[in-house]
A and B are shown apart, each in its own frame.
Chain A
Amino acid sequence: MTGLSGAWSAERPRVGAAPAEPAAKMGLGREALPEEIAAWDTDVRPDGRGLPVGRGTVKQGDELFQERCASCHGEFGQGAGRWPVLAGGQGTLRADRPDKTIGSFWPDLSTVYDYIRRAMPYGNARSLTDDEAYALVAFLLNLNDIVKDENFELNDKNFASIKLPNAEAFFDDDRETSEKKFWNKDPCMRNCRELPKVTGKAISVDVTPDGKSGPKVD
């Protein structure tokens, strides 16, 4: 059907099969030093692997949050303007307009710690200490009603025991079974449907940028 196989076809050897002797080392690169790995390897897994020794309380987190985070995320994590909402929305995932926050949607607390320490505050990433990150995560648990006591201390010992409400609601990609009918040997070619009617138009929404003018590119 395509009429363009031969040299261009997909039947060429896969990339992974290309190097003939995988065992032979090239001798390129050099061993990473422990200090270097420690500097870059800051990721944290759901089982707590990667957590640094440290601690922080809800109260400490509240203070920090108001100072470093609230200008974008709001005093209560409700989001200022169009910045992301971090708290609330529990029970809305089946609603017409779900509210996907840490409390309502995120499966793992480790992600909160990893992401804050890696990428926040926006525009000044990697500026928080490990303890500050613990305190902020503790405060976010409090904002999401997962921890009520403002004297609660989150630390590397109790971290992995805390479960988020939506932890069980994720499952691996199942398209090949749940969408099996999209594999169709013989799609319809003639008289496939009733006369179509227009049911929706982008121009009625009218949110497309003006495509005729653009930034100056001279």
Chain B
Amino acid sequence: MRDKSRADLVNRRRFLSAASLAGAGIAMTRGASATDTTKPDPLITEVQDWQRYLGDGVDKRPYGSPSKFEKNVIRRDVSWLTASAESSVNFTPLHELDGIITPSGLCFERHHGGVAEIDPAKHRLMINGLVEKPLVFTMDDIKRMPRTNRIYFLECAANSGMEWRGAQLNGCQFTHGMVHNVMYTGVPLKVVLDEAGLRPNAKWLMLEGGDASGMNRSLPVEKGLSDVLLAFAMNGEALRPEQGYPLRAVIPGWEGNLWVKWLRRIEVGDQPWQTREETSKYTDLLADGRSRKHTFIMDAKSVVTSPSPQAPLKYKGRNVLSGFAWSGRGTIQRVDVSLDGGRNWQTARIDGPVLDKSLTRFYVDFDWNGEELMVQSRAIDSTGYVQPTKDELRKVRGVNSIYHNNGIQTWLVHRNGDSENVELG
């Protein structure tokens, strides 16, 4: 035991000095070549703790967590954005993610009355209004219905909303992190509506949450009958409480606010309800003082996640530029990337699944000569829609529409590899 602790101590000292050396190495060689190859690397020549001592047994973590070395990969909030943490938002760490699936524990949160903690045995879903027979379902009822699995992005209508007037927040987590992409398991809403039987004059649905905000939104019945899901699982397990456990609406391609969490009721009607979340909020004020309403679809959008302000370039030479693209109108057809602020473009390499209304991963493998870069990405979707610049959007909408900012993002990469959020003129 004493021997082990002494060895621990020695190893820890060695580890610390190796770590500080490595740190200095990065600082010195940043923008230059790789590590010092003239001396043997103690991480190779010396036996490390993890090579000598046993690690934790299988029962240590019945539900696993990320490595302690990944503890900065977390949701973050911007406290000045809202008056209260229970009606607020936090942000997905996009700069730390790869592929297209967002880990459930990192999916951004947006609540209007905090996280409702609901016992699934006490949860009920009611269907009423213009139906042949109003119904009440338990979660067990819902889990006896034919189910389906689909991967979709969920983007908050206000994602990038703080950037309408110019560059404000320094990092794609904050400028673009109100988005996540998971596999949902659930029941098509159509199955449930068929069970109740829609009356011929049914035109609109109202979805209502069971939390303290009683979130309610109107949804056209055609959308409800096409691809809307009532989901009880995400990424293979039950929904997280902050994502609506035990039941949420999934409204593919449409603004996140419609994806009512803790879903308890669907009313069928012949006109929209004009609820608070579709009048006071989630309406888009234009420069002439009028406002668009029912701007449901999230247009094609993309962002380079690396390099970005939270993910600097560390080396000259070979690098991987990476990012996400998505569109509420269909699939991503193409992503173009510019390194000179939109003067010239090259088409990025898309890798991984290209799915309908899902995040899509793109890469540009490039050599960096240490010169300043102005990095942009431009998504093109299956309808031929090309992601506009912010200035093009402002020309149509002004700067006070809060929602639906899908303008092209620019990162200025400095010669030392640091990046920052900028606007170009």
Residue numbers of B with Cβ under 8 A of A are 68, 71-72, 74, 76-80, 82-84, 86-87, 112-113, 126-129, 133-137, 141-142, 144-146, 148, 150, 166-171, 173-174, 188, 190-191, 194-196, 206, 208, 212-214, 216, 225-229, 264-265, 267, 269, 271, 273-276, 279-280, 283, 285, 287-297, 299, 309-310, 330-334, 336, 340-347, 350, 352-356, 374, 378, 380, 382-388, 392, 396, 400, 412, 420-425
B295 touches A173 (CB 8 A): yes
**A67 on the interface (CB 8 Å rule)?**
no
A118 touches B216 (CB 8 A): yes
Of A108, A188, A189, A200, most buried by chain B (CB within 10 Å of CB) is: A200
A19 interface neighbour in B146, B206, B213, Cβ under 8 Å: B146
Write the chain B residue with the least CB distance to A50: B273
Query: Within the complex, what minimum Cβ distance (angstroms) separates A180 from chain B?
Result: 10
Alpha-carbon gap, A203 to B355, bound state (A): 36
Alpha-carbon gap, A26 to B146, bound state (A): 10
10 nearest interchain CB pairs? A196-B341, A199-B425, A10-B356, A200-B423, A202-B421, A32-B134, A93-B289, A118-B214, A29-B135, A82-B83
Query: Within the complex, what minimum Cβ distance (angstroms) separates A178 from chain B?
Result: 6
A94 touches B288 (CB 8 A): yes
Q: Can you identify 22 A-B contacts, CB atoms within 8 angstroms?
A: A2-B333, A2-B354, A4-B352, A9-B331, A15-B148, A25-B195, A32-B134, A41-B129, A93-B285, A98-B400, A107-B279, A111-B280, A115-B275, A125-B212, A125-B214, A169-B289, A182-B388, A189-B344, A193-B341, A196-B424, A198-B423, A205-B166
Of B86, B274, B350, B374, most buried by chain A (CB within 10 Å of CB) is: B274
A30 touches B135 (CB 8 A): yes
Alpha-carbon gap, A48 to B252, bound state (A): 31
Q: Which residues of A contact B142 (CB under 8 A)?
A: 28
Pick the interface stretch among A56-64, A138-146, A207-215.
A207-215
A16 touches B424 (CB 8 A): no
Alpha-carbon gap, A190 to B343, bound state (A): 6
Query: Within the complex, what minimum Cβ distance (angstroms) separates B309 from chain A?
Result: 8
B137 touches A28 (CB 8 A): yes
A202 touches B333 (CB 8 A): no
Query: Within the complex, what minimum Cβ distance (angstroms) separates B338 from chain A?
Result: 8
Alpha-carbon gap, A9 to B354, bound state (A): 7
Query: Within the complex, what minimum Cβ distance (angstroms) separates B203 from chain A?
Result: 13
Residue numbers of A with Cβ under 8 A of B are 1-5, 8-10, 12, 14-16, 18-19, 22-23, 25-26, 28-32, 36-37, 40-41, 43-47, 81-84, 93-94, 98, 100, 102, 105-108, 110-111, 114-115, 118-119, 122-123, 125-126, 169-175, 178-179, 182-185, 187-193, 195-203, 205, 207-209, 211-212, 214-215, 217-218
B265 touches A41 (CB 8 A): yes
B344 interface neighbour in A9, A26, A115, A192, Cβ under 8 Å: A192
Alpha-carbon gap, A8 to B378, bound state (A): 23
Provided the pairs A41-B128, A119-B214 are in contact, do residues A170 and B293 lie with their beta carbons within 8 angstroms?
yes
Alpha-carbon gap, A18 to B344, bound state (A): 44
Q: Which residues of A contact B330 (CB under 8 A)?
A: 10
A183 touches B385 (CB 8 A): yes
Alpha-carbon gap, A157 to B75, bound state (A): 49
A202 touches B168 (CB 8 A): yes
Provided the pairs A108-B274, A192-B343, A200-B167 are in contact, do residues A182 and B214 lie with their beta carbons within 8 angstroms?
no
A41 touches B135 (CB 8 A): no
Write the chain A residue with the least CB distance to B350: A2
A212 touches B289 (CB 8 A): no
Alpha-carbon gap, A3 to B353, bound state (A): 10
Query: Within the complex, what minimum Cβ distance (angstroms) separates B332 from chain A?
Result: 7
A43 touches B148 (CB 8 A): no
B227 touches A16 (CB 8 A): yes
Alpha-carbon gap, A93 to B398, bound state (A): 12
Provided the pairs A30-B135, A187-B336 are in contact, do residues A115 and B292 lie with their beta carbons within 8 angstroms?
no
Write the chain B residue with the least CB distance to A194: B343
B345 touches A8 (CB 8 A): no
Provided the pairs A32-B128, A43-B216, A208-B174 are in contact, do residues A198 and B422 lie with their beta carbons within 8 angstroms?
yes
Alpha-carbon gap, A114 to B195, bound state (A): 28
Q: Which residues of B contact A23 (CB under 8 A)?
A: 194
Write the chain B residue with the least CB distance to A112: B276
A196 touches B382 (CB 8 A): no
Query: Within the complex, what minimum Cβ distance (angstroms) separates B417 from chain A?
Result: 16
A217 touches B290 (CB 8 A): no
Alpha-carbon gap, A209 to B81, bound state (A): 11
B425 touches A211 (CB 8 A): no
For the A-B complex with A37-B126, A45-B269, A187-B380 known, give 11 more contacts whose Cβ atoms are closer than 8 Å: A3-B350, A15-B228, A28-B144, A44-B273, A105-B285, A119-B214, A170-B291, A175-B299, A199-B423, A201-B422, A207-B169
Q: Which residues of A contact B228 (CB under 8 A)?
A: 15
Q: Which residues of A contact B113 (CB under 8 A)?
A: 119, 122, 125
Query: Within the complex, what minimum Cβ distance (angstroms) separates B391 from chain A?
Result: 10
Provided the pairs A28-B195, A36-B126 are in contact, do residues A200 and B166 lie with their beta carbons within 8 angstroms?
yes
A214 touches B195 (CB 8 A): no
Alpha-carbon gap, A182 to B378, bound state (A): 12
A31 touches B420 (CB 8 A): no
B425 touches A208 (CB 8 A): no
Q: Which residues of A contact B289 (CB under 8 A)?
A: 93-94, 169
Query: Within the complex, what minimum Cβ distance (angstroms) separates B336 from chain A?
Result: 7
A31 touches B133 (CB 8 A): yes
Q: Which residues of B contact A201 (CB under 8 A)?
A: 167, 412, 420-423
Alpha-carbon gap, A137 to B378, bound state (A): 47
Query: Within the complex, what minimum Cβ distance (angstroms) separates A55 from chain B?
Result: 23
A114 touches B275 (CB 8 A): yes
